[in-house]
Structure 1
Amino acid sequence: MAVLTLIVLRASTDRPPHQAVPSPTPSEAINAIPGGRTATAWPTAPGACGAETLLPIVSSAPPAGHTGIQVLLGGDRLRLVDFDSGRVTTLPDAVVRPGEYAAVLAGDPVTAYATTGSCSETAPYAMLRISVDHRVSVIRPLRPTEWALTDGNRVWIASFASDIDNPYGTIAPVVGGQRVRLPLGFYASAIVGDTIVGLMQPDPGISPTWLALVDARTGRLQAKLDQYVAPLAAGAGQVFWTTGCHDDASPCRLHRRLIAGGETLGFPLPRPACCGVVSPDGTRVAFLIQRATTDQRLAGQPLPPLDIAILQLDTGRLSIVPGIELPTKSQPGLTFTGRDGWLVIALNAGSRTRLLAWRPGLRQPYETNALPGPVHDPPTLVVTSH
C-alpha cells in the first residue's frame, strides 16, 4: 500500500472554515522617511504562531496551458491540489487538529515524509501515515531530539546528542531496523541513498568546520568535503555547498560533488545563496539568492531581499525566476516536477499559501488559487501523481 508519512505539531492558530479564491498581492502602505521623502513599506499580514509575516511581492498569471501539476501541501491541514483547475481536496485528517501544523518534505509518487519546527517548545511531535485512500493515522511520537530525513524513497529518524551522557547522534529507518551511532560531533542535515550529509564538529567549543558524508548503515565517516562551508542542497546522487559568499577576500562559489566521489566542480555566484533543491534528474538546482541592493521598504533589515534562481548544471547558466521578490530571511517551499521542467513554489502569505509554477521561457510564473490557512514557515509541498 502506498503511504504518505508526515510529522504534525501543535501551534496556536485556528483553521479558517473554507477555501479562499485568488487575490492580488496586498497594497503597500506609504511611510515617511528622513529628508521629507516617502517610501512604500513592505506589505505584512498576521501569520502563524502570532507573528507578523513579511509578504512576498509577486507578479503572476493564471495557468495558460496544461501543466499536469498535482501537489500535496502542508499547513494547518493536509490538501491535495490540482494546479491547473485550482481544485483542492482536504484530507480527512482528524489527527491534525485545529491549532496544529503538518509539513510535507519530499517523495513521489508512492511515499512522502515531513518535518517542521514548532511554535511551542513543549508541543509534541508525531509521525503520521496517510494511506492511498487518504486516511491519516499516527505511527509514533517523536522526541525533541529527533527529526525525519528522506531521500524520496525511504524515511529515517535521526537524532542529535542530547547531553554529556548521550554524546552521539543516531539514525534508524522508520520502518524498523538497526539504530546506528553517528560519529562524535556529527549533525545530520540530509540523506541521499544510504549516505548522510551533515556538519562535523569534533570540538564542541568551536563551530562546525567540516561538511562530511557518513554511511547510514554503519555510521562510518566516508569523506570530509570542505571546511568552513554553507550546505546548500543534496539530492539525485549529489551534494552542493557554497564558500566565500560572506568573505570579502574571496569570491562566492557554488560547489558540486557526486556522493559516490570524484571531482568537485565549482560555479561562480554573483551573491550569497542558500536553501536549495535538486531536480530529480540531477541536471538543475534551484535556490535563493540575494538581490544586488537593499530595498528601502525593508526598513531595519541590513540584508537585501531575495530572488529564486535556477542553475543549469551542464551549461552553468543561472536564471532568475521573474516576478517574485521575497523579503529578507524568507524561505519558500521549492520542488521540481519529475517531467516538463517545472519548478513549483509555495509562498507564505500570512493567512494563506500562494502556489506558483515556472520554467524557462515564461515571462512570469503561473499561479493557481491561493489556499487559506496559516502555515509554519517554510511552506512544504511534494509533487504527486495521486
Structure 2
Amino acid sequence: MEHDQDEVLEVGKASGRGRRRAGWILVLVVLTLIVLHASTDRSHRQAVPGPSPSDLISTIPDGRTAHAWPTAPGACGADTLLPIVSSAPPAERTGIQVLLGGDRLRLVDFDSGRATTLPDAVVRPGEYAAVLAGDPVTAYATTESCDESAPYAMLRISVDHRVSVIRPLGPTESPLTDGNRVWIASFASGIDNPYATIAPVAGGQPVQLPHGFYASAIVGDTIVGQMQPDPGISPTWLSLVDARTGRLQAKLEQHVAPLAVGAGQVLWTSGCDDDASSCTLRRRSTAGGETLGSPLPRPACCGVVSPDGTRVAFLIERATTDSQFDGHPLPPVDIAIMRLDTGRLEIVPGIELPAKSQPGLAFTGRGDWLVIALNAGSRTRLLAWHPGLRQPYETTPLPGPVHDPPTLVITNR
C-alpha cells in the first residue's frame, strides 16, 4: 500500500555574524560573480526550471523564509490545500465499511482497501455525489455540479446497491438527514414566499416553519436552525422547531450556530470569538432540560456526534500557525474528540489540516472508531482512529476528486 509522505523542507537562516567576519572576502566573491554573470550564456540561464507551486518559498517580514502550504489540482479546476498526515496501515481488524461520495459512489472495506463502485449512471462527468444517510434500509445522496446553474438531484441507493434519481432539487431546497430518514427543507425565497417548509422524502404534506427560521440540521423530529424574524434587526437565535407542527420549541442562545447535532442532542460553542478563556462547548437535549458546558481551549466547528451520544468529534484551531509555513496567515486545525460525560478532550495525532478545510467525519455504531475522509486533490484518503493509537490507520487511497467536504457514512452492507 502506498502512502503519501508530505515533506516540508526547512530553510535555514543566513548567519549575519559570519558575513561580518568575512566582509572583505564577500566583496571579492561579489566581484567574481559579476564577472561570471556577464560571461554566462542567457539561454543556459533560461533552461533552469522554476519551482513547482507547492515548493514556492516566500520571504516574511523578519527576513526568514517559509514554504507555501502544499497543494494539488482538485475538483472543478481548483487547487486543493493538502492535509499533512502521518499514518500506518491497519494493524488490527476494524470491521469498518464505508459508503463514500465523490465523483462516483463507492462501498469501501477499510481493512482490505477494496472499493466497489456502485453500478449507476446518474453521477455524470463533472458531477459529485454527497452521501447523506446509510443503514439500515436505504441510503440517500445528492449530486452537485461544477456548473453551479445545473440542477441538483436527490438519489436513492437501495439495499442491492442500485442508484436511482428520486427527484430534482430546486435552488431553494436542501436535504436534511437524521440517520436513515431524510427531509427536504425549502427556504423562503422572497415576499411571495416568506416562509420555509419541511417535508419528509418518504412522503407527506409540507410543514410551514416560523417566519425567519433557517433550518440547518434535524435530529429526531426536531429541526435545529437559526431564527431572525427581521433580517435588519438583531439578534439571531439558535432555535429548535418541531418538524411535525412547525412550532417553535426553544430559543437556546443568541449569535451562535450549531456545531453538531445527533443522538437527541444539539451542541454549539459560546464565547469563543470574544475571549479564548471563555470558550465553551455547550449541549442540550432536544427534548429539553439543563444546558451543560465543557471548556474549550480554542474555537471549534464542524462536528459529529457518536450514535450512542457519548462522544463528539470536531475541528479545533491550533494555538499558533505552523512554523513550517510561517507565511500562512491562519493557524491550521486539528481533529478532536471529546467525551461528553467527562469533558475530556483528545487530539487525533498525525493529522494537520489547513485552515478552513473540512474533512468527512463519522463514528462507527458504538463510537469506538472515528473514520476520517480527507480531500487529497485527485483522491480521497480514508483513515480511522480510536483513543490509544499513536497514529491513525490509513487504507488504500481512493482515486477521483471530491467536491468539498468529502462525505461518508458507516454501513454494514
Fold-level match, TM-score > 0.5? yes
| Cα offset, 1:125, TM superposition | 0.7
> Could you tell me how far apart the structure 2 residues matched to 1:36 and 1:278 are?
45
> Could you tell me how far apart the structure 2 residues matched to 1:372 and 1:380 are?
15
1:149 — aligned with what? 176
Superposition CA RMSD, Å: 1.7
| Cα offset, 1:239, TM superposition | 0.3
2:293 — aligned with what? 266
Q: 2:407 aligns with which of 360, 380, 386?
A: 380
C-alpha contact 2:317 2:334 (8 A) present in aligned 1 = yes
Deviations 1:231-268 (A, max 9, x none): 10000000000111111386110001001000000000
The one-letter code sitting in structure 2 at the alignment partner of 1:270 is P
1:98 — aligned with what? 125
| Cα offset, 1:310, TM superposition | 0.3
SS of equivalent to 1:103: strand
1:138 — aligned with what? 165
1:9 — aligned with what? none
The one-letter code sitting in structure 2 at the alignment partner of 1:309 is A
SS of equivalent to 1:105: strand
Q: 1:224 aligns with which of 245, 251, 258?
A: 251
Deviations 1:194-233 (A, max 9, x none): 1100000111114661000001011110111111113100
Q: 2:108 aligns with which of 43, 60, 81?
A: 81
The one-letter code sitting in structure 2 at the alignment partner of 1:42 is W
The one-letter code sitting in structure 2 at the alignment partner of 1:380 is T
> Could you tell me how far apart the structure 2 residues matched to 1:30 and 1:140 are?
46
1:4 — aligned with what? none
1:161 — aligned with what? 188
The number of aligned residues is 366
Is residue 31 from structure 1 mapped to residue 11 from structure 2 by the alignment? no
| Cα offset, 1:303, TM superposition | 2.3
The one-letter code sitting in structure 2 at the alignment partner of 1:368 is T
> Could you tell me how far apart the structure 2 residues matched to 1:344 and 1:293 are?
26
> Could you tell me how far apart the structure 2 residues matched to 1:249 and 1:384 are?
38
Larger relative helix fraction: 2
1:1-386, aligned counterparts within 5 Å? 22-28=2-8, 29=55, 31-34=57-60, 35-115=62-142, 118-206=145-233, 209-248=236-275, 251-296=278-323, 298=325, 301-339=328-366, 341-386=368-413
C-alpha contact 1:45 1:351 (8 A) present in aligned 2 = yes
C-alpha contact 2:128 2:144 (8 A) present in aligned 1 = no
Deviations 1:108-159 (A, max 9, x none): 2323333576533201111111222211111111101101111112110001
For structure 1, which runs of at least 5 residues remain unmatched after alignment? 1-20
C-alpha contact 1:69 1:83 (8 A) present in aligned 2 = yes
> Could you tell me how far apart the structure 1 residues matched to 2:201 and 2:79 are?
36
C-alpha contact 1:111 1:152 (8 A) present in aligned 2 = no
Deviations 1:77-121 (A, max 9, x none): 000000000011011111111211001023323233335765332
C-alpha contact 1:115 1:147 (8 A) present in aligned 2 = no
C-alpha contact 1:279 1:285 (8 A) present in aligned 2 = yes
SS of equivalent to 2:223: strand
C-alpha contact 1:271 1:291 (8 A) present in aligned 2 = yes
The one-letter code sitting in structure 2 at the alignment partner of 1:169 is A
> Could you tell me how far apart the structure 2 residues matched to 1:74 and 1:84 are?
19
> Could you tell me how far apart the structure 1 residues matched to 2:236 and 2:4 are?
45
> Could you tell me how far apart the structure 2 residues matched to 1:360 and 1:283 are?
14
SS of equivalent to 2:164: strand
The one-letter code sitting in structure 1 at the alignment partner of 2:77 is G
> Could you tell me how far apart the structure 2 residues matched to 1:171 and 1:22 are?
45
- CA gap of 1:240–1:208, structure 2 versus 1, over 3 A, is same
Query: Which structure is higher in RCO with an 8 Å CA cutoff and minimum separation 6?
Result: 1
The answer to which of 183-192 and 199-208 deviates more is 199-208
- CA gap of 1:116–1:132, structure 2 versus 1, over 3 A, is closer
1:13 — aligned with what? none
SS of equivalent to 2:330: coil
SS of equivalent to 2:132: coil
> Could you tell me how far apart the structure 1 residues matched to 2:320 and 2:397 are?
30
The answer to which of 250-259 and 321-330 deviates more is 250-259
C-alpha contact 2:172 2:189 (8 A) present in aligned 1 = yes
SS of equivalent to 2:76: helix
SS of equivalent to 1:113: strand
C-alpha contact 1:230 1:243 (8 A) present in aligned 2 = no
C-alpha contact 2:66 2:327 (8 A) present in aligned 1 = no
C-alpha contact 1:197 1:213 (8 A) present in aligned 2 = yes
Structure with larger Rg? 2
| Cα offset, 1:302, TM superposition | 3.4
C-alpha contact 2:256 2:269 (8 A) present in aligned 1 = yes
> Could you tell me how far apart the structure 1 residues matched to 2:324 and 2:120 are?
40
> Could you tell me how far apart the structure 2 residues matched to 1:181 and 1:64 are?
51
